Structure 1
Amino acid sequence: MGWIYFSFGVAAAGALIFCGWIYYVGTRKIPSSGGLFFFSRVVLAVPRFAQSDPRWADDPLGPTQSSLAEAGCAVCSAAMVLAFYGQDIDPGRLNAFLSDKGGYTPEGWLYWEKAADYHPGAARHAYEDLPSYYLIDSNLERGNPVIVRIRFPNGVTHFVVIMGKDGFDYLIQDPATAGANGVYPLRILVPQIDALRFYERLTPAPAR
């Protein structure tokens, strides 16, 4: 009988491992902390760009009547990641480029792949869909920040850059805070991640 109990135990352990793996790699809306436990704090040197920076705060967001200060979280987040790759870029210049090149929908939603064309051949738009812990953690482990879409209780959506992790906590640069909170855990802001985007660096960034 012992071997029967042993077999059941092995099967149960295997099922738990399989379910855990599916939970880790599966794409869906996920809690804003979790995934792999990072025993050593990881913080990537992503520069901080604030929507309220007076250099571009009043610039219109693409074809809309909104300003970057009001609705520029996506373009600021994209600029932070591309600047991390070494590109000479900021939200004002990226917004002007996207406005000229059809980089926005009429509603002002960013075509994320267009932002990668700011320095052709320097980065590529690699992913835009539902998040998973595996996708976020594997990018951080190889030194690549990611952008996530979150939603506040009032229904308003917002984009931030995940640029580190401490334990189960994802650490963010938030373009809406003007750096007042520094780098802080995403779970303080919202309980859930709705969507994920990330780029990949291809070559050293040329001067523009």
Structure 2
Amino acid sequence: MQEIDQDVMNIRRICNTIFLLLLLLALTPKAQAASIKAGAVTTAAGSLNVRSQPTSASSVAATLKKGSYITLHSQTGQWWRVEYDKGKYGYCHSRYITQVQGTPVSVSLRSGSLNVRTGPGTGYARSASLYSGQTVLLLTTSGDWSRVLYHGTKTGWVSSRYLSGSYPAVSVTVPSFKQTDSRWADKTVGTSGKPFSQIGCATTAVAMMESARQGRTIYPDEMSRQLQYTASGDLYWPSHYTPSTNASGYLERIYQMLSKGKPVLLGMKNAGGSQHWVVVTGFQGGTALTPSAFTIHDPGTSTRTTLAQLQAVYPTFYKYFAY
């Protein structure tokens, strides 16, 4: 009996060990994927050496051009462990690497491969293929397309619908006002002689923003009496609003502001250069930051409720404000 019990105990230990090893193998790739970051080479001139070890005395495994992207895995002292080609790793001095916005996401396909293209659309040439389960770094988005960093240093565009990430839904409570509301539609904006119904989208959007910020209802006509305008009715923006004119990665930054509980005042332009202003109020959740998932309050119409619908008429990013 004693020998049998000992055998049973040994079998149990072996089974437990195998289970722990399998669990570790299952979790490790996910942990590694979550830890990767995007970097850019910021040498003053010339290229950056990739070393075989985290020391300048070790051999040079590769070189990276100034301005190129690089996948960062971990940092040891002043050295980054980097992936400089598919499955190839080395070390770069952190002095010459600047971290940039990059979100780890996974390729999610039922079958086949995902085309990587040279631009955001099917009209651009195919440059590579990715497969389900591969982890890439999302750098920026354009419409329903995402620019990704893959295989260490390569970048390209893929359809966002095939990326699986972690962007939970978020919503900010903001009242919705229309510039065509009969209570103020015919009232003059500043001293311009022009009515709200014609040029009041910016003021109406600010009224929504300030109502959310102050926690009380401020109607657009009341808001106009607190603002300043040029003679033609252009708005001088409130001093406590911080502008951004950087179009690169603006959806990511808007999402970050929404996650802090703050709406975003967004300006877009049409082909003729005309501006239109809306308030971005939330994100419906999804695998990528696509315009169709961002919700808006549009002062000009009730039929546009998503950023994608706005971009169909005003496709060009102008600037945004946050408080």
Work out whether 1:194 is the aligned partner of 2:314.
Answer: no
Work out whether residues 270 and 316 of structure 2, in 8 Å CA contact, stay in contact via their aligned partners in 1: no
Quick one: distance in 2 between partners of 1:192 and 1:32? 11
1:129 aligns to what?
244
Distance 1:24 1:175, change over 3 A: farther
2:187 aligns to what?
59
- Counting only pairs closer than 5 Å after superposition, residues 14-163 of structure 1 correspond to structure 2 as 18=99, 20-21=101-102, 31=142, 39-85=167-213, 86-98=215-227, 103-113=228-238, 125-131=240-246, 132-163=250-281
- Counting only pairs closer than 5 Å after superposition, residues 148-187 of structure 1 correspond to structure 2 as 148-166=266-284, 167=286, 168=289, 169=291, 170-177=294-301, 179-181=302-304, 184-187=305-308
Work out whether residues 189 and 195 of structure 2, in 8 Å CA contact, stay in contact via their aligned partners in 1: yes
Q: One-letter code of the match for 1:192? A: T
Larger RCO, structure (CA 8 Å, separation 6 or more): 1
Distance 1:175 1:18, change over 3 A: same
Work out whether residues 44 and 163 of structure 1, in 8 Å CA contact, stay in contact via their aligned partners in 2: yes
The two structures have a TM-score, normalised by structure 1, of: 0.70
Work out whether residues 265 and 277 of structure 2, in 8 Å CA contact, stay in contact via their aligned partners in 1: yes
Work out whether residues 127 and 198 of structure 1, in 8 Å CA contact, stay in contact via their aligned partners in 2: yes
Secondary structure of the structure 2 residue equivalent to 1:40: coil
Distance 1:7 1:129, change over 3 A: closer
The two structures have a TM-score, normalised by structure 2, of: 0.47
Q: One-letter code of the match for 2:275? A: T
Work out whether residues 25 and 133 of structure 1, in 8 Å CA contact, stay in contact via their aligned partners in 2: no
Quick one: distance in 1 between partners of 2:245 and 2:217? 29
Quick one: distance in 1 between partners of 2:275 and 2:255? 23
| 1:180 CA drift (Å) | 3.6
Distance 1:43 1:192, change over 3 A: farther
The two structures, once aligned, show a CA RMSD in angstroms of 3.5
Deviations 1:12-71 (A, max 9, x none): 9x99x94554x9899xxx846779x66332222211000000000001111112110111
Candidates 78, 81, 89, aligned match of 1:10 = 89
Q: Which of the pair has more CA radius of gyration?
A: 2
Distance 1:18 1:180, change over 3 A: same
Secondary structure of the structure 2 residue equivalent to 1:162: strand
Moved over 2 A (4+): 3-12, 17-21, 23-26, 30-35, 37-41, 131-135
Work out whether residues 76 and 91 of structure 1, in 8 Å CA contact, stay in contact via their aligned partners in 2: yes
Q: One-letter code of the match for 1:128? A: P
Greater helix share, structure number: 1
Quick one: distance in 2 between partners of 1:192 and 1:38? 27
1:204 aligns to what?
none
Secondary structure of the structure 2 residue equivalent to 1:113: coil
| 1:90 CA drift (Å) | 0.7
The count of residues paired between Structure 1 and Structure 2 equals 175
State percent identity of aligned pairs: 27
Secondary structure of the structure 2 residue equivalent to 1:150: strand
Q: Structure 1, unaligned stretches of length 5 or more? A: 115-124, 200-208
| 1:95 CA drift (Å) | 1.2
Greater strand share, structure number: 2
Deviations 1:102-128 (A, max 9, x none): x112221111216xxxxxxxxxx1402
